[in-house]
């Protein structure tokens, strides 16, 4: 299956994306994670992206589209896109790549969450510097304070999770998300999930929303 996740920052998309990719054996392509990894390794792409990321602004479409096109080339058995597309230009570019491969999207999972909840969640979010998994000091704390349960990496607060930047990112999301949702709804691809519930419940709803697309793996 080929799935796009849409939802505001703070909706828990990242966490759910990992779980869904494991559950359905999909390649996870999370553009924010890829950019952060480039920043960490101080690549040319990382240096280009960082100036936008630190301000909570979008990286230019052509840069992101090129990066995702490369990542898709390695995703032969289905994928889950988290954080892309974020603009209509990106959505159209994605369609073009997938049409050329004759592999259209199967579904777009939309995570619904009110802004106040998103702001509250992001204020408490801590992200592993090494594997990018995220936690919340209030709702989903790590077993050991400041340490990733999975890889033992150090948990930090992302620069773009600071209050003013969170509001900018949410504003940007609201500006573009409706257009994107309508773009995909017109093709009957949208499936909604209430992201205000607990992580376990959101996961259950997300799995249920995609279950009919699951194909048995071939031995």
Sign of the four-CA dihedral 84, 89, 94, 97? negative
The answer to whether residue 125 forms part of the interface with ligand AMP (CB under 6 A) is no
Half-sphere exposure of 150 (CA within 13 A, CB side): 12
The answer to whether residue 134 forms part of the interface with ligand AMP (CB under 6 A) is no
**Residues touching ligand AMP, count (CB under 6 A):** 17
The answer to whether residue 10 forms part of the interface with ligand AMP (CB under 6 A) is no
Taking CB under 6 A as the criterion, which residues in 176-215 touch ligand AMP? none
Distances in Å between the Cα of 190 and the Cα atoms of 72, 123, 194, 199 are: 21, 29, 13, 21
126 is catalytic: no
Calpha distance 161→70 (Å, rounded): 28
User: Strand pairing of 2-6 and 27-30?
Assistant: unpaired
Q: How far is the CB of 82 from ligand AMP (least distance, A)?
A: 7
Nearer to ligand AMP, 73 or 211 (CB): 73
51 is catalytic: no
Calpha distance 135→15 (Å, rounded): 9
Nearest to 17 by CA among 139, 199, 212: 199
List 11, 21, 53, 122, residue binding ligand AMP (CB under 6 A)? 53
The answer to whether residue 64 forms part of the interface with ligand AMP (CB under 6 A) is yes
The answer to whether residue 86 forms part of the interface with ligand AMP (CB under 6 A) is yes
130 is catalytic: no
List 37, 39, 45, 52, residue binding ligand AMP (CB under 6 A)? 52
The answer to whether residue 59 forms part of the interface with ligand AMP (CB under 6 A) is yes
- 3-class DSSP state for residue 67? helix
169 is catalytic: yes
What are the φ and ψ backbone dihedral angles of 157, each rounded to 5 degrees? Answer: -95, 125
List 56, 71, 136, 148, residue binding ligand AMP (CB under 6 A)? 56
List 7, 10, 12, 83, residue binding ligand AMP (CB under 6 A)? 83
Catalytic residue ranges: 13, 86, 125, 158, 169
């Amino acid at each position: 299956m080929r799935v796009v996740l849409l939802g505001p920052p703070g909706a828990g998309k990242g966490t759910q994306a990992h779980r869904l990719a494991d559950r359905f054996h999909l390649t996870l392509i999370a553009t924010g994670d890829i950019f952060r990894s480039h920043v960490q390794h101080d690549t040319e792409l990382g240096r280009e992206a960082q100036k936008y990321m630190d301000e909570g602004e979008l990286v230019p479409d052509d840069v992101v589209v090129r990066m995702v096109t490369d990542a898709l080339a390695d995703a032969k058995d289905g994928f889950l896109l988290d954080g892309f597309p974020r603009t209509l230009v990106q959505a159209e570019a994605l369609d073009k790549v997938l049409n050329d491969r004759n592999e259209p999207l199967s579904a777009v999972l939309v995570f619904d969450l009110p802004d106040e909840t998103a702001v509250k969640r992001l204020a408490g979010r801590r992200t592993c510097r090494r594997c990018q998994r995220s936690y919340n000091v209030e709702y989903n704390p790590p077993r050991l304070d400041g340490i990733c349960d999975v890889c033992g990496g150090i948990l930090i607060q992302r620069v773009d999770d600071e209050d003013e930047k969170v509001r900018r990112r949410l504003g940007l999301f609201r500006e573009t998300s409706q257009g994107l949702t309508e773009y995909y709804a017109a093709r009957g691809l949208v499936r909604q999930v209430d992201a205000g519930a607990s992580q376990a419940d959101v996961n259950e709803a997300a799995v249920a929303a995609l279950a009919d697309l699951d194909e048995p793996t071939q031995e």
